[in-house]
Chains A and B, each alone.
Chain A
Amino acid sequence: MARRPPRGRTPAPRAAAGLRIRMYNVGFGDCFLLFVPTSNGVRKIVIDCGSIKKKSRELREIAASLIDDCRDPDGKARIDILIASHRHLDHITGFTHPDWAEVEVGEVWMPWVESPDDPRALAIRHAQNRAAVALERAASRLGLQGVVDTALNARSTDDGLKALHAGFALRAEPRFFPAGDGVVEKIESTLLPGIDVFVLGPPNNRQALKDDTAPPGQTLLTGLLAAEDDDDEDKFQPLTRDWIEGNLALEDRLRDEAGFQDAVSRIAAYKLLAAKLDAEINDTSLILIFRIGEDYLLFPGDAQWGPWELALGNRRAIDLLEKVTFIKIGHHASHNASPASLFRDHLGQRNARQNIVHAMISMTPHGSFPNIPHTKLIQELTNRQFPFVNSDKLTGALPPGFTRNGDLWFEFAFD
C-alpha cells in the first residue's frame, strides 16, 4: 500500500500532460469529451451526450460542435471510444443527431444491462420499461407532469439507444461491462495503449440494482398494465371518470372526500415509484476510472447508493478511489450519487496530487429536482478545497486549470 504523500512536496506527475477534459454545457444532462495522451498519439473518448433541459444552446447544436471538435485533419470525425453511461435520456438523446451517422467510432461501451442477448439484462430492462409505461399512464391521468417526465426519461424506446447499438459509421460492435462478477474489473482495449480503465459498476447482480421485490401481482401499478381497454382501467383510477371529465358539479367533487384521500395517497405513491425507478436506472450506470499516468479520473455516471455500497465495501475499489485526482460529480450533484462516506473517508486521499481532487458538475436547475445541486455537497467540495466548475455558472473567475469557451463548454487540464 502506497504511503500518503506529504502535502506540497511531490512534484506534479508529468504523464498526464496533454490530457484535457471537456464538459459541454448541455444544461441538465451530461456530455464529455476527453483528449487522452497515449504512447500512440492523442485518443478521443466521448462519455454521454444528452440533455432534458437546455441551458443556452440546443442539444443538436452542441452535438454538431462536438462532432466537429472530433474531426481529424482529413475532415473525418473520429472518436476512439464512445461511452453511454446509462439509458436515461439526459445522457443519450444527443446521439439521435443525423451527423452521428458519419462519425467513425472505434468502440462503443455500455453497461451490461443494455446487452441485447443477456437474459438477465433483458429481464431488468423489461421490468423497468413496464414500470415506466404504467407510471406514465397513471401519472398522466392525474396530471402529474413531473412524474410523467421521470417516466418518459426512463422509457427505452429512444432512438439514441438504437444509434449506440448500431455502432455508427463503422458499425462497431458495442461492448458491455462489467463482463464478470467482480466488483472491480479491468477493461482491455487496444485503442488506449498505456492507459488502464477500471469498471466499478454497474454491479453484475440483481440485488444491488434493485433492493426489494414485491410479490408478483401485488403492486399498485399492475392493474394499469393488465388493463387493455379503458373500461378496465377505471378500476385503477382513484377518481371516477365523471370526476375527471368535469361531469360532476364542483361541490359534488369537493364532497368526495374519500376520492380526494385516495388521490392524495396515490399521488404520493406514484411520486415515490418514479423516484425509485429513476434511482434504479441511475444505478445501472457505468462507473469508470481511467488511469492516465499517475492521474485517476472517475466518471461514475449517475450511480446512486446501491453500486456505491458495493464498491465502498471492496478493498480493491477503495484503493482505486483513494487515488482519484479528478471526478465528474455523479448525477448532476444530487445527494445520493456522492455518498458522504466516499468523500469523507476515501476519495483522493492517497492520490498523486497532494490529495486534491478536481471536479466538474454538469447541471442546470430542473423543476423536478429541487435538491439538485445538493447544497451540502457543494459545501463539502468547497470545504475540502477541491477546485470545481459547475456548468450552470457562465460568469465569474474559474479555478486554475479550468477554462471556458463562451457558453459552449468548460475544459480542465492538469497544469
Chain B
Amino acid sequence: MFTCLSHDIIAHEVTHAIVHRLRPYFLEPTNVDVLAFHEAFSDIVALFQRFSYRDLLVEYIQNARGNLLESKMLVELAQQFGYARGSGKPLRSAIGVEASKVDLKKTIEAHDRGAILVSAVFDGYSRAFQNRIADLIRIATGGSGELPRGRLQQDLVNRLATEASQLAERFLRMCFRAFDYMPPVDVTFGDFLRALVTSDFELNPEDREEVRYGVIEAFRERKIFPTGVHSLAEDSLLWPNQVNGPIPQLESHIMDLARQLLARSASALDQVSSPRRKRREKEPSAAAGFDAPSPIQTYQQSVIESEVEESERDLDFAKDLNKKMAIQLQQYADDNRSLLGLGAQHDVACRGFHAVHRVGADQRLIIELVAQFMQTDKTRTETLGGIPFRAGATVIFDSEGNVRYIASKPMVDANLPADLQRAAAARLKSAELCVEALDCRDPTMPFADEEYLAQRMKLRAQFRALHEGLGHG
C-alpha cells in the first residue's frame, strides 16, 4: 500500500499545510478541539475533493441503487473511498457513526475527536443531497418515489452523480470560505459552525435548499455547541459585530491603503491580467512591459503574515504597502483593545490581513477585508506545558471599513466587561484541562525529561501523527 500516492493522503496532508499557513496557532493545543480541528478539516477537504469527481460517482450510484433513497448510500460510498487517512486509520471510521453513539466529552484523541466533526459536516452534506434529489426521483418514478427493478436509467444516474459532485464542490467552497471567519487562536468545533454559518449567510442569506439548516442539525445531534450562544438558531450563530460596544470603522487613511491592496488582489482575479490568458494569446508577459506576478503570488503578497515570534511588532514585510497597512492596523487594534476583547497589558500584533472578493447567490459582488489581531501572555507558558496563553480577534470589515463581524477570543483582563472576563477565564480553564487530559494519556510521561516536560504541549502537536502511525495490532 503506497500511502504516499493515495489521493486522500495527499489532499489531507496538503490541507494541513494550508491550514497551518492560514492559522499557524491552530497547532497550539489550547483546548481539546484544536488539534482535532486540524485533522478534521484535512479529512473534510480530502473527502469532498473525492466526491467532486463526478465520474467516480457514476458507477457507484448505479450499483448502490437500493440505498439511493436513504442517506446510507453516501456514507457507504465515503467508506469505500480512502483506505487510510494521515493517521493510518481508515477514513471510514470518521463517518457513518450514528450521532447518538457519539460521545464528544470522552473522545479526546485528535483523530477520533476530529472524526466527530467530519461526521457532522458529512451528515449535513447527506441531508442536502437528499433534499436536492427528491424531485429527480419523483420525475424518474412518475411521482411514486419507487424505483423500477433492474438497472437504473443511465440519464438518472448521471444526473444524480452531477448533483452529488456539485454539492460536494459547494461544501468544499463553504468550508474554505469559513476559514476567513475563524478566530486566530484557540479554535473550537463550535467556532467552525459559527464561521460556516456566517460566511455562507453572507453569500446565500436565504438558504433555500436548507443546506445550513441541515449542517446545524447535524452539529446539534452530536452535541457540538458553540460557547456563548443561547441557541443554535441561525441568528444566534452568526458572529456578532461587537463584543464590547461598537467598534469604530477603519479611518480614511487605512481605507486608502486598503483600496490599493484591494485593487491588487482584484487584479489576481481579473481575466485580462491573468498570465494563463496571456499565454493562450501567445503574448509573452515581458512584452507588456512588466513582470506580471502569478495570481498566487499576488494573493500571497496581499496576505500579511509575520513569522517572527519574538518581536511581534517587528513586521518585516516584503512590500512597503503591506508594511504600512500592518502598522496602521496594529495601531487601530492598539487604540481599540478593549473593544476587540484584548487586554491592556500585552502588545497587540496584527497577524494577517487580506481582501476577499466573492460573488453572492444573487450575483452581488461582495468585498470584505479580513484582519487578524493577537495578543500573547507568556507568563502562563509553564503551566500550559510550553505554549503561551493567547487572545485574539478576527475582524471582518466591509468595503467601507465598517466592522461586519468579529470572532473574538478575549484576554484575561480585569478591565474587560464581566461576560468577556468569564469567557477568558473559561478559555484558560480549558487550556489547563487540555494539558491535564493529554498528560494522562501520554505514555511517555514516565520517560520524560525536563526538556520534554517544558515543551510537551508543542511536541505533542508535532508528534501526534507519529503516535497514530504506531502500534502493533
Contacts and interface: CB of A to CB of B under 8 A. Distances in A.
Interface of A: 127-128, 130-131, 134, 146, 211-216, 218-222, 265, 268-269, 271-280, 304-305, 308-309, 331, 334-336, 339-341, 368-372, 374
A339 to B, nearest CB: 6
Contact of A221 (B443, B468, B472): B472
Q: Chain B interface: which size bin?
A: 20 to 34
Please report whether the interface of chain A is mostly helix, strand, loop or mixed according to DSSP. helix
Shortest Cβ-Cβ A-B pairs, 10 listed? A214-B471, A279-B443, A334-B446, A131-B472, A275-B443, A371-B448, A275-B444, A335-B445, A213-B473, A370-B449
B88 A371 contact: no
A278 B446 CA distance: 10
21 contacts: A130-B472, A212-B468, A213-B471, A214-B470, A215-B84, A215-B89, A215-B473, A220-B469, A221-B472, A222-B472, A272-B463, A272-B466, A275-B444, A275-B446, A276-B443, A335-B439, A336-B443, A336-B445, A341-B436, A371-B449, A374-B446
Interface string B405-417: 0000000000000
Contacts of A339: 440
B109 interface: yes
Nearest to A302: B446
Contacts of B448: 335, 370-371
Interface in B422-473: 436, 439-450, 453, 463, 466-473
Contacts of B439: 335-336, 340
B444 A271 contact: yes
Contacts of B90: 215
Contact of B444 (A272, A280, A372): A272
Interface string B8-38: 0000000000000000000000000000000
B288 interface: no
Given A269-B466, A370-B447, A336 B442 contact: yes
B1 interface: yes
Interface string B265-284: 00000000000000000000
Given A272-B466, A370-B449, A216 B443 contact: no
Contacts of B463: 268, 272
Given A269-B470, A276-B470, A335 B446 contact: yes
A214 B444 CA distance: 19
Contacts of A269: 466, 469-470
A53 to B, nearest CB: 14
B453 A371 contact: yes
A279 B471 CA distance: 13
Contacts of B450: 370
A368 B448 CA distance: 9
A131 B473 CA distance: 9
Contacts of A309: 440
Given A334-B445, A369-B446, A371-B446, A211 B109 contact: yes
Contacts of A279: 443
Contacts of B436: 340-341
Contact of B443 (A215, A220, A304, A341): A304
Contact of A372 (B1, B109, B441, B446): B446
B470 A305 contact: no
A230 to B, nearest CB: 22
